[in-house]
Amino acid sequence: MSLSRRDFLTSSAALAAIGAVSRRDLIAAWQGQPQAAAAVFTPIRRNVGFFTMRGGTIGYMINAGGVAVVDSQFPAEATACLNGLKERAGGQTVDVLLNSHHHGDHSGGNISFRGATKKVVAHAKAAEHMKNPPGAQPPADQLFPDATFTDSWTADLGDERIRAKHYGVAHTSGDAVITFERANIAHMGDLMFNQRHPVVDRAAGASLRNWMRVLDATVKDHANDTIYIFGHANANLPVTGSAADLTKFRDYIGAVLQFVEAQHKAGKSKEEILAMNAPLAGFEGFGQFGATGAREIRTCAYEEITTGR
């Protein structure tokens, strides 16, 4: 379901307090992020699954050799996730918490993992943005990554190998894909919005053109039958899918760039382009093109086209 205004204001205040998101993230949340009424753990295969409640999708792995978690939503939701993991893991401590990027709906709950995880891992840029979020105040208190990487990070937990890899700037400058290699499952964080207008954090280094390349590189780097966990999905759509979903999202980004470029060449101003409200042809499932999220991606597209970067 969508956030109520009260939920939005509550989460906005909490996020502002920890300095973890920009105003644009809060607007995107208010536009209608699908939410679960309660904590839901969904197994996928080979001890890997995902958790949904409120915020970006959390991935988890529990086996005899260890426990790993990808992303942390918000503090209360992270606590609910931890409680459920303890039940499922027989009281095992979390060995590693990985953050796919710095946004508060994916890392705001890190604080709840203090004393509950042995290690926190993120890309170096994501860690930097967590401590000093672009466009927001630094958090008063938070559990930051204590292990960072620039290209990739790997670890073995029991019979599973976990790999975090940075494919380049995209949604932000610090996104990572976290892959459970033997389970053949990859957590995309906000590199993947399933048929939903995405958050594009240009202040944190986002690039639409490179985002398309990152999605292509991710598909190429994984097997044909890899299951992908998405950061977000439109209402009534799943938060897991296949390479075909990544390709569709890449095509959507490309179509936005082409649309904005064509309108700019036709002499339309930025304001006129942003005012166009009809769904983008071929991508009607993403929703009205005048929605806040669509305006944001078009703004980024216009800036990339007119500045060349």
Which residues have CB under 8 Å from 309's CB, separation 6+?
none
Contacts of 261 (CB under 8 A, 6+ apart): 301, 305
Rounded to whole angstroms, how far apart are CA atoms 84 and 78? 10
Which residues of the chain, if any, have pLDDT below 50? 1-34
H runs (alpha helix) in 67-148: 75-89, 104-107, 124-131
Domain assignments of the chain as residue spans, ordered by start = 5-248
- pLDDT at residue 116, as a whole number: 97
On whether the pTM is more than 0.85, the answer is: yes
The CATH T-level fold of domain 5-248 is: Metallo-beta-lactamase; Chain A (3.60.15)
Residues 6+ apart with CB under 8 A from 127: 99, 102, 144, 145, 148, 174
What the block records as the tokens of 64 is: 């005899």
Instruction: Supply the pLDDT for residue 8.
Output: 33
What pLDDT score was predicted for residue 15? 43
Q: What is the pLDDT of residue 69?
A: 98
How high is the pLDDT of residue 35?
55
Q: What is the pLDDT of residue 126?
A: 98
Residue 115, pLDDT score: 96
Q: Which of 83, 28, 82, 84 is nearest to 56 (CA)?
A: 28
> Which pLDDT belongs to residue 287?
83
